[in-house]
Amino acid sequence: MQNRFKAAIAVLMLSCALGVSAQQPDRGYWQAASNTASSITGDIAIAATKLTIDFKSYTIASIRAIKPEEVSAVFDADVSTAGPGTLYRLNVPAAQRFLHKNTLCGSEDTQWMVTYAAGKSLQVAFFSGSAAPVLTFDAVSHSTNLCGVYNYAR
């Protein structure tokens, strides 16, 4: 009886540990860590279905995990050490003003967000356009839909 109880406790602890490690690494509260983030968005928070910027919340939908090669193309990370990131769909109207009356994508609606969290740092890229951004080196370097890249920290 005591062995079954210990086994049940061990299974419960393992399932809790797996659940925690399966969470998205980009979730939570992030402090602006770059000049761009400090002057446009300020601190942000990412939840399963919500992005909060400057106390304004927007619905987001996780579209897919992005591969290390795609992370490297967007954020200039080392492809051999980059982990996966996430592509999100969202809609931030072009008329929305943030800190210092700045916008995310100028006169275009912001429709895509790519995130990459590594340790206590988060990089976020925003894109305009109705089609999902192509996340290759060539496409990103020639993209007219990339609005900006922002850095955050915990």
150 pLDDT above the threshold of 80: yes
User: Cα dihedral sign for 43, 44, 45, 50?
Assistant: positive
**DSSP for 5-32, written as a single string:** HHHHHHHHHHHHHHHHHTS-TT-EEEEE
Q: What pLDDT band is residue 1 in, cutting at 50, 70 and 90? A: low
**How confident is the prediction for the chain on average, in pLDDT?**
87
Specify the CATH class of 24-153 in words: mainly beta
Separation in Å, CA 90 to CA 34, 62, 74, 87, 139: 22, 9, 18, 10, 21
* Other beta carbons less than 10 A from residue 20's beta carbon: 8
Rg of the chain, C-alpha, whole Å: 18
Domain ranges of the chain: 24-153
pLDDT digits (tens, 9 = 90+) for 32-87: 999 999 999 999 999 999 999 999 999 999 999 999 999 999 998 887 778 789 99
In angstroms, the CA 146 to CA 100 distance is 21
